[in-house]
Structure formats: structure tokens, C-alpha cells
Structure 1
Amino acid sequence: MARSLDGLVLSPVADQAPGQVGTRTRFTYHERNGRIWAEYAGGDVVHGHLVGTRDGDGLDFRYVQLKQDGTTSSGHCLSTVTELSDGRVRLEERWEWESQEGSGTSVVEEVTG
């Protein structure tokens, strides 16, 4: 199992569609006893929160966010935690909106410095 996510800051490696999370978005993760949660903001997202569980290297969580245009959206995500050769954490994600149409994949990696 990869190391704990607690206290890590992660960011997408590529921009998603307009109005979504992107390379300027920062996720601050917390983890305790198989539970995970994070706050995120940046780019088109003013405030975002996710909550869920971790089982080994798998994350299962739901997210909700407020965008710059005042709209809200929510969805579900399954992620796999891996460790990069330089020791940073990477999440490979499969997500699906629940409040609107759409699904996809994304990759977020630990930000250092």
C-alpha cells in the first residue's frame, strides 16, 4: 500500500474541460482510519470538498464543488493510489458527474516545494 495521503497537496497534471478542475486546482488531502477527505480550490473552482474511504490503494469518494459562475456540481470518483519513482503520490482517477452529464479519467500528483 502506498503511503498515507494525510497532509498531502495534489494537483491535476492536465486541464479538464472548461469549468472543471485543472492544473491551477490544489487538493489538500486528509486520511484517518480508512476515511479520506479533502478541500480543493483553484481555477474555475471556488470551493470543493470530497469525502470517502480508502481500502488499500483504492479510493472511493464523492465530491461537490462551487464554481466561479455560481453553479454547483457533484459526482463520484474511484481512484488508484500509486507512488512515483521520485517518491511522490499519484492518483489515477475514474470519475462521473451525478448532477450533470459526463464522465472521464484524470491524473493528480503530489505537489512539492
Structure 2
Amino acid sequence: MISSTTSAVDPEAPSIFEYFEKDGAIWGGYTGDTVTFGKFVGTRTADTIWVSFVHVLVADGQVVTGDGESELELTDDGLIRLVEHYEMHGLPQLSVCEEIPA
């Protein structure tokens, strides 16, 4: 994750997401920064991903759930960027994740 309206992203230890896909189904998990661990599941249609997620916050152990939609883009370096739109705490949010080069 490189940016988020929900929280400040620690550039030294951002949340790291791992995505899997088979036959249009998407699933995976994430950890780091303000999140102890999180899981998501959803679908991909063309360049759009829709997921439902749940995660546990580091600060207070609160469980957060929600739904989000991401647009897939390519960076100038040919890596995948996800621009994620979701709702948290009753407000629209935006985060950006970029693929880590192998």
C-alpha cells in the first residue's frame, strides 16, 4: 500500500497484500502497518475487482468489515496498481496499492 485516506501509511512498513485469482474469483490476505491481519474474497471482471474484506486493527483489536471496488492500472514500469474505493466508518475511502517488483 502506498497511500490511504483511512490511515497514514508507514513507507518503511506498509500493509502488504497478497492476491490470488482463478476463473475470475479473487482471494487473499494482508498484514502490516495498522492491520494485524486481514482477508478478502471477491471477483474480477475485466479491469475491476470487487471484494468483501475483514481485518483486525493493531491498535485496539477492533474487527473491521467492508466491501470495496478497485480499478486495475499499469504503472509506467509495467507493474500493477490498484486504486481501491471502499467505505469505512460510514465514509467513502480511497487507497492505492502497487505491485512489488520480483
Please tell me the TM-score bracket, short chain as reference.
0.7 to 0.9
Contact 2:4 2:96 in 1 (8 A): no
4+ aligned runs moved over 6 Å, structure 1: none
TM-score w.r.t. structure 2 length?
0.86
Aligned residue pairs total 98
1:57 and 2:47 aligned = yes
Written as runs of structure 1 = structure 2, the 5 A alignment for 1:10-89 is 12-18=1-7, 22-23=9-10, 24-68=14-58, 69-89=60-80
The gaps in structure 2 that reach 5 residues or longer are none
The gaps in structure 1 that reach 5 residues or longer are 1-11
Find the counterpart in structure 1 of residue 93 from structure 2.
Answer: 104
> Percent of pairs identical after alignment?
31
Q: CA RMSD in A?
A: 1.6
Residue-by-residue CA offset, 1:22-71 (whole Å, 9 max, x unaligned): 34100011010000011100011011001100000011111100111211
Give distance in 2, aligned partners of 1:37 and 1:86. Answer: 25
Q: Secondary structure at the match of 1:17?
A: coil
Find the counterpart in structure 2 of residue 9 from structure 1.
Answer: none
Deviation at 1:15, TM superposition (A): 4.5
